[in-house]
Amino acid sequence: MDGAVRVKICGLTDAASVRAASEAGAAYLGFVFFPKSPRNVDISQARALCADVPAGRAKVGLFVSPEDALLEAVLAEVPLDMIQLHGEETPERVAAVRARFKLPVMKAVGVAEPSDLAAIDAYGRVADQILVDAKPPKGADLPGGNGLAFDWQLIAGRRWPVPWMLAGGLTPDTVGEAIRRTGARQVDVSSGVESAPGVKDAAKIRAFLDAAVAPPPKLRSV
């Protein structure tokens, strides 16, 4: 991976948002296949939206504890480049999905306290990438996209054997600081670039990309 920070805009639901994310320079464009989410798309929507994604951008499908039948149905119609698993999948299930569908798999791991970090090591042995996200509150309907952050100091300076991506409550105003504190070279945003749940805002997408890829401020000499 080169030195530039790579950005994933997740939960895209319309052509205008796909265009805004692509033009702003997002490396990954995410599409949610989870009916409880306000960002859910069906197969026909996703197929049409992926047709608008320029070459060189990774099309990521987000699934929550999916059965093989759902993955088969989506992948038969939608040209995804990566599968994101955002549910209660075990490491064994992650490995099985990766082997069966022959696509890179990103596994989301929720973090709220130091004990949660051990799961990142376990999933890092079977997934191609790890999404380090804020753990959802108990009883939450959504496993992600809740606009919640976690204590970035928990992962400051940490390294894992596979590429990882920082998520959880990031916004155009906070992403620069999150990158500086954690050393993340990839970041993911969904609700942080919306004007309402499931409604992406082109100006916020551009502002997020600008903030994420901006060089860190120089330290003042004393």
pLDDT per residue over 182-200, tens digit each? Answer: 999 999 999 999 999 999 9
Where does the pLDDT of residue 61 fall: very low under 50, low under 70, confident under 90, or very high at 90 and above? very high
220 in any annotated domain:
no
162 in any annotated domain:
yes
Residue 49 sits at the vertex; the CA angle it makes with 43 and 55, to the nearest 5 degrees, is 125
Instruction: Check residue 136 and give its pLDDT.
Output: 72
Q: What is the pLDDT of residues 115-149, one digit of tens each?
A: 999 999 999 999 999 999 988 755 555 554 545 68
156 in any annotated domain:
yes
* Average pLDDT for 32-43: 96
Q: Domain with 31 in it: what CATH number?
A: 3.20.20.70
Catalytic residue among 133, 141, 201, 210: 133
Which residues fall within 8 angstroms of residue 216, CB to CB, at 6 or more apart? 176, 179, 180
Identify which has the larger pLDDT, 104 or 219.
104
Catalytic residue among 2, 10, 14, 121: 10
Q: Which residues is 166 bridged to in the sheet? A: 132, 187
Where does the pLDDT of residue 57 fall: very low under 50, low under 70, confident under 90, or very high at 90 and above? very high
Active site residue 173: no
Range(s) of the domain holding residue 113: 6-213
Which residues fall within 8 angstroms of residue 134, CB to CB, at 6 or more apart? 110, 111, 112, 144, 146, 148, 149, 150, 167, 168, 169
Rounded to an integer, what distance in angstroms lies between the CA atom of residue 145 and that of residue 29?
15
34 in any annotated domain:
yes
Number of domains within the chain: 1
Rounded to an integer, what distance in angstroms lies between the CA atom of residue 5 and that of residue 188?
11
* Average pLDDT for 67-81: 98
Rounded to an integer, what distance in angstroms lies between the CA atom of residue 168 and that of residue 164?
13
Rounded to an integer, what distance in angstroms lies between the CA atom of residue 119 and that of residue 21?
31
Instruction: Check residue 138 and give its pLDDT.
Output: 59
Q: What is the pTM of this model?
A: 0.90
219 in any annotated domain:
no
Both tokens of residue 34? 């989870």
96 in any annotated domain:
yes
Q: Which residues is 30 bridged to in the sheet? A: 60
Rounded to an integer, what distance in angstroms lies between the CA atom of residue 102 and that of residue 69?
15
Active site residue 14: no
Both tokens of residue 2? 């080169």
Question: How many percent of the chain have pLDDT more than 90?
Answer: 82
Task: Give the range among 26-40, 77-91, 203-217 with minimum mean pLDDT.
Answer: 203-217
Question: How many percent of the chain have pLDDT more than 70?
Answer: 90
67 in any annotated domain:
yes
Task: Give the range among 49-63, 135-149, 202-216 with minimum mean pLDDT.
Answer: 135-149
1 in any annotated domain:
no
